Amino acid sequence: MIRLGLIGKNIKHSQSKFVYEKILKKNIDYKHYDVDNKVDLPSLDKLFSEVEGVSITAPYKKDYQSVVNIVGEVAKLGIINCIRKNGQIYEATNTDFLAVHSFLKEHLSSCDSEVIILGDGSMAEITIFSLGLLNKDFKQFSRKKTQGFSSIDLSTLTGKNALVINTCAREYTYNGPIRNGIIFWDYNYSHKNHSDRFLNSTIQYIDGMDLLRNQAIHALAFWGINY
């Protein structure tokens, strides 16, 4: 049986096991390493004595960087979320970036207006890095930088295909005015407040489940697991 693991904090809600099993069409052994403090993070040697591939989620995406070789252009990003063992060497990539970048490359070809990023955490950094590679301008709003962040006015965005990307954790809910026809891409899946508001509106709401699935596909390829 395939053995995979996820490291993070408060990760009981994770749907990753379900997503991997749906892609692989079989059951897997999926371990949660729910760690309250980074001083308690397990070593890679311990992890890979128990699993074949490791995913990392918030808030620990930068805590294993010093003990891995980062593969490809993700090295310039400096944030990892996926680790494999190659011989005696640990290698890492960022499958969130790979999934986000593939979506943006496809979508931005038809985006004729502003891109708005909500948030300033690691997923925002990944998104900004991707937009930089694609030479696409953006505006960013966050709790730290924006007064009234949860209710900022997005009703004045211009262009037919304006894109709003919510990179915030699921505790955040956007409650402000928003123009009809905007694409609202939520990196969270099953965000009830957003789905209840947008699914029966003229807003094109994209739930984060597709991002999670694409991230999982990239992770399986990185680990060399066929499906």
Cα separation of 103 and 20, whole Å? 20
Task: Give residue 110's pLDDT.
Answer: 61
What DSSP character marks residue 43?
A: P
Give me the half-sphere count of Cα atoms (radius 13 Å) on the Cβ side of residue 92.
25
Task: Give residue 162's pLDDT.
Answer: 87
3-state secondary structure of 28: coil
pTM for this predicted structure: 0.89
Amino acid identity, position 168 = C
Tokens matching residue 213: 């699935």
Least confident of 90-99, 104-113, 126-135, 208-217: 104-113
Spatial contact of 59 and 68, defined as CB atoms under 8 Å apart: no
Helix, strand, coil % in the chain, rounded to nearest 5: 35, 20, 45
- pLDDT surpassing 90 at residue 160: no
pLDDT in tens, 162-203: 899 999 998 999 999 999 889 999 999 999 999 999 988 889
Cα separation of 203 and 197, whole Å? 9
- How many other CB atoms are there within 10 angstroms of residue 189's CB atom? 18
Orientation angle between helical segments 209-223 and 95-107, nearest 10 degrees: 120
Task: Give residue 113's pLDDT.
Answer: 67
Tokens matching residue 101: 């970048």
Q: Please give the domain boundaries of the chain with CATH numbers for all domains.
A: 3-94+212-223 (3.40.50.10860), 97-207 (3.40.50)
Task: Give residue 163's pLDDT.
Answer: 92
Cα separation of 227 and 20, whole Å? 10
Task: Give residue 220's pLDDT.
Answer: 98
- pLDDT surpassing 70 at residue 111: no
Spatial contact of 54 and 103, defined as CB atoms under 8 Å apart: no
Spatial contact of 31 and 54, defined as CB atoms under 8 Å apart: no
